[in-house]
């Protein structure tokens, strides 16, 4: 199986965490793919031309990071996705919130690449409001996070790591909105939970630019 993705050791990648926790990380070949490089043939595997994309040994592709996560969880029998039950819906909703916050940070990132004079402050404000509301919800819910790791927690950890990935252009974009953009402030429970969970080996498992795995 070939995983096409953008490796970035600066933040937690949900597919890598699931691959590691499910015990299937060594069954994957990791192929660094930049979706923004027109020369790349990603569109052949995934019409949406997005990473992550998982290409199976028979050439069929699975895409949508969360679908890839569920596939790897099923392959490894690891139960990071709970079976149908009320708990599953709680976990899956948390999964969507965490993943949505990550995607919102990507949108802010893309906006920050525009020349500073062209930054759309109203657009950035709208995206940032989602981040603030999401973080406040997670601070409220954090005491109830299950002791066992699940896909909801993995996606929340991914989002928080993305918020910690503080590159200068994002700071410039957010400066008229929230100059510190420090998610930990006023959210001590979430911060404590994150500091503990990011010590798990799976959260530190990564892949370098050549596709070589770096085990914690």
Ligand X SMILES: N[C@@H](CCC(=O)N[C@@H](CS)C(=O)NCC(=O)O)C(=O)O
> What's the closest the beta carbon of residue 74 comes to ligand X, in angstroms?
17
Distances (CA, A) of 103 to 75, 112, 140, 168, 195: 26, 14, 21, 18, 22
Residue in the shown chain whose Cβ atom is closest to ligand X: 65
**Candidate residues 27, 32, 50, 137; the one interacting with ligand X per rule CB under 6 A:** 50
Residues 53-82, interacting with ligand X (CB under 6 A): 64-65
Task: Give the span between the Cα atoms of 171 and 9, in whole angstroms.
Answer: 20
49 touches ligand X (CB under 6 A): yes
169 touches ligand X (CB under 6 A): no
What lies within 8 Å, CB to CB, of 182 at 6+ separation is none
Going by C-alpha positions, the residue among 188, 215, 205, 105 that lies closest to residue 154 is 205
Confirm if 69 and 151 have CB atoms less than 8 A apart. yes
Judged by CB under 6 A, the stretch of 46-54, 77-85, 157-165, 202-210 that binds ligand X is 46-54
Q: Which CB sits closer to ligand X, 74 or 191? A: 74
CA 177, 180, 184 angle in degrees (round to 5)? 115
**Candidate residues 16, 18, 28, 51; the one interacting with ligand X per rule CB under 6 A:** 51
3-state secondary structure of 213: strand
Backbone angles phi, psi at 103, to 5 degrees: -65, -35
Judged by CB under 6 A, the stretch of 99-107, 134-142, 146-154, 207-215 that binds ligand X is 99-107
Task: Give the span between the Cα atoms of 8 and 205, in whole angstroms.
Answer: 11
> What's the closest the beta carbon of residue 36 comes to ligand X, in angstroms?
6
Size of the site for ligand X (CB under 6 A): 11
**Candidate residues 70, 73, 99, 111; the one interacting with ligand X per rule CB under 6 A:** 99
> What's the closest the beta carbon of residue 113 comes to ligand X, in angstroms?
12
Distances (CA, A) of 38 to 22, 50, 170: 33, 12, 24
Residues 103-132, interacting with ligand X (CB under 6 A): 103, 106
> What's the closest the beta carbon of residue 6 comes to ligand X, in angstroms?
6
Q: Which CB sits closer to ligand X, 82 or 158? A: 158
Task: Give the span between the Cα atoms of 17 and 202, in whole angstroms.
Answer: 5
Which residues are near ligand X by CB under 6 A?
6, 35, 49-52, 64-65, 99, 103, 106
């Amino acid at each position: 199986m070939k995983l096409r993705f953008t490796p970035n050791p600066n933040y937690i990648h949900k597919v890598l965490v699931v691959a590691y926790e499910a015990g299937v990380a060594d069954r994957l070949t990791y192929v660094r793919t930049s979706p923004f490089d027109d020369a790349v043939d990603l569109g052949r595997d995934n019409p949406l031309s997005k990473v992550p994309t998982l290409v199976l040994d028979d050439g069929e592709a699975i895409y949508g990071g969360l679908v890839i996560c569920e596939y790897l969880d099923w392959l490894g029998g690891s139960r990071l996705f709970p079976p149908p039950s009320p708990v599953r819906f709680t976990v899956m909703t948390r999964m969507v919130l965490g993943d949505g916050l990550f995607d919102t940070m990507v949108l802010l990132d893309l906006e920050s690449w525009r020349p500073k004079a062209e930054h759309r402050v109203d657009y950035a404000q709208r995206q940032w409001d989602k981040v603030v509301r999401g973080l406040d919800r997670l601070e409220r819910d954090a005491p109830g996070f299950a002791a066992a790791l699940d896909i909801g927690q993995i996606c929340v950890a991914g989002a928080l790591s993305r918020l910690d990935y503080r590159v200068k252009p994002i700071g410039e974009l957010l400066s008229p909105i929230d100059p510190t953009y420090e998610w930990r402030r006023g959210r001590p429970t979430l911060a404590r939970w994150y500091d503990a969970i990011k010590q798990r080996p799976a959260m530190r498992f990564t892949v370098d630019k050549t596709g070589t795995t770096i085990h914690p």
